[in-house]
Amino acid sequence: MNNMDTIQIRIDTKTKQSAQHVLDELGLDMTSAIRVYLKQIVLQTSLPLRLLTSNGLTPNEEQAILAASTEAKTGMNVTKPMSVKAALKYLDTL
């Protein structure tokens, strides 16, 4: 016997309509897409996608860039200007 449960969600109209448009282009209905998503969560034992900020980065990547920017502004972890020859020599040591 196949037991089935019902899931109800609330979502804003614009997001639902935008998602429906994409799914229509892919030939999927909303229920099938959500079913695929949930099955992938089970198979991968995690979310089957990268969570990104509005800048297209993961939160960790964004934090690393902001930290590096702060360091650069304060002169931390910044090398002095060097010639091409010195830069290539430096890169060979990495």
Which residue in the block uniquely carries the two structure tokens 């614009």? 14
* Full residue range of the structural domain in which residue 46 is found: 13-92
Examine residue 18 and state whether it is found in any structural domain, yes or no. yes
Examine residue 78 and state whether it is found in any structural domain, yes or no. yes
pLDDT (tens digit per residue) in 77-89: 877 888 999 999 9
Examine residue 7 and state whether it is found in any structural domain, yes or no. no
Q: How many structural domains does the chain have? A: 1
Closest CA to 11 of 1, 2, 19: 19
pTM of the model: 0.58
Examine residue 3 and state whether it is found in any structural domain, yes or no. no
pLDDT (tens digit per residue) in 6-48: 999 999 999 999 999 999 999 999 999 999 999 999 999 999 9
Name the DSSP letter for residue 49: S
Task: Compute the distance between CA of residue 79 and CA of residue 65 in angstroms, rounded to an integer.
Answer: 17
